[in-house]
């Protein structure tokens, strides 16, 4: 399956190869579409491709690292 997500990195994680590890450790193919990252903070909009299980495990790991994971289109729940 494919899933579109936005990662928001806190300052301390910007230097870590989180996206690279998603591929190597979790077999999730990543495809970056847009990004805005400098050395202190940033976000990346990307598509993930893999089995549902791998994507879930991968995203759980990413969140555990302290990266915020959101749907690409922003919050869906409105007032």
Partner 1 sequence: MAFATALRCRECSREYPLEPMNICEWCFGPCEVVYDYEAIRKQISRKSIEAGPLTVWRYRDLLPVGDGPVVDLHAGYTPLLKADNLGRMLGLDNLYLKNDCVNPTYSFKDRVVTVAATIARQMGFDTLACASTGNLAGAVAAHAAKAGMKAYVFIPADLEKVKVVGAAIYGPTVVAVNGSYDDVNRLCSEVADNYRWAFVNVNIRPYYAEGSKTLGYEVVEQLGWRAPDHAIVPVASGSLLTKVWKGMNEFKDLGLISEVKTRMHMVQPLGCSPVVTAHAEGVMSVKPVKPNTIAKSLAIGNPADGYYALKVLKESHGTATAVTDPEVIEGIHLLARTEGIFAETAAGVVISGLRKLAQSGAIGKHDLTVAYITGNGLKTQEVVEDSVKTWPVQPTLASFRHALAAHGHA
Ligand X SMILES: Cc1ncc(COP(=O)(O)O)c(C=O)c1O
Cβ 17 to partner 1 shortest distance, Å:
21
Angle at 1 between CA 8 and CA 75, to 5 degrees: 35
HSE toward the beta carbon, residue 18, CA cutoff 13 A:
26
* CA-wise closest residue to 5 among 23, 19, 21, 16: 19
Show the binding pattern over residues 22-61: x = contacts partner 1 (CB under 8 A), - = does not: -----------xx-x----xxx-x-x--------------
From partner 1, ligand X, none, which one binds at residue 45 (CB under 5 to 8 Å depending on kind)? partner 1
Q: Is 38 in the site for ligand X (CB under 6 A)?
A: no
Nearest residue (CB) to partner 1, 24 versus 75 = 75
- 43: phi then psi, degrees, rounded to nearest 5: -135, 155
């Amino acid at each position: 399956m494919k899933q579109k997500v936005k990662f928001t990195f806190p300052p301390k994680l910007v230097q870590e190869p989180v996206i690279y590890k998603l591929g190597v450790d979790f077999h999730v193919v990543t495809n970056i579409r847009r990004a805005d990252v400098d050395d202190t903070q940033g976000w990346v909009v990307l598509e993930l491709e893999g089995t549902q299980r791998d994507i879930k495990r991968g995203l759980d790991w990413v969140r555990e690292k302290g990266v915020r994971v959101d749907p690409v289109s922003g919050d869906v729940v409105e007032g």
